[in-house]
Amino acid sequence: MALPCPGCGKPLGLTIEFIMKNPISQCPYCDVIMNFKADEKVVDEYKDALNQIKSIQDKFKSIAKFK
């Protein structure tokens, strides 16, 4: 799910994955600076969850189709 700019509300196309890699960004429309820094524990737990999902997808890829 893409997030809009909190300043001007225009769509930015930012995803959680992009924000995790680039926690500080600037809106190209209104130039507001956004700081999405998260606690490292939360980021690590999110990465662990993504790895678990990938593991499950790999385990069942021969019998199921994932989007």
**Within 13 Å of residue 34, how many CA atoms lie on the same side as its CB?**
22
Compute how many other C-beta atoms are within 10 angstroms of the C-beta atom of residue 58.
10
Reported in sequence order, the residue ranges of 1-67 that DSSP labels E, i.e. its strands, are 3-4, 11-14, 24-26, 33-35
For the chain, helix (H) and strand (E) counts, in that order, are 2, 4
pLDDT tens digits, residue range 47-67?
999 999 999 999 998 999 887
pLDDT tens digits, residue range 21-32?
889 999 999 999
Residue 34 backbone phi and psi in degrees, to 5: -115, 130
